[in-house]
Structure 1
């Protein structure tokens, strides 16, 4: 355990940031799973608004630095492709 005052503060800060990052990542994953369930159920009508929300969550996670930009863009692309195939 850290003995120096600044190191103790840094441990607290890191723990707080870690918890926030987990929350962003969890929200993002939940929305992705929601879209995938709707795609599996072939529910194009509800999948499109769910996709918009998932894209928002992914963009926010990218902005916060929780996931890498390429990773987030890949996830958005794959989900969008699946939803578009569903509508066609």
Structure 2
């Protein structure tokens, strides 16, 4: 258990930051799921629109430290490849 005032404050800050990061991660996953559902349905225009909405969300997660930037780029790239392969 934290004893010093600074350690207690650090614990509070970590808890608050964890909540924010959980919300960001959940939001990001929701956007990814929408893209994957559109891909599964075979609707290319819906998949492209969902990807266009998901891309900034992934980059924002990377900027805020929820994801590593290379991970975000890889996810965007793989989703884009899957969207482009619809109907091909």
Same fold (TM over 0.5): yes
Residue aligning to 1:64:
64
Which aligned segments of 4 or more residues in structure 1 are displaced greater than 6 angstroms? Answer: none
Residue aligning to 1:48:
48
Residue aligning to 2:75:
75
- Backbone CA RMSD of aligned residues: 1.0
Residue aligning to 1:11:
11
Give per-residue Cα distances to partners, 1:17-70, cap 9 Å, x unaligned. Answer: 111111111111111011001100001121111101110110000000110111
Normalised by the length of structure 2, the TM-score is 0.94
Q: Extract unaligned runs of 5+ from structure 2.
A: none
Whole-angstrom CA distance in 2 between matches of 1:29 and 1:81: 18
Q: How many residues align?
A: 88
Q: Extract unaligned runs of 5+ from structure 1.
A: none
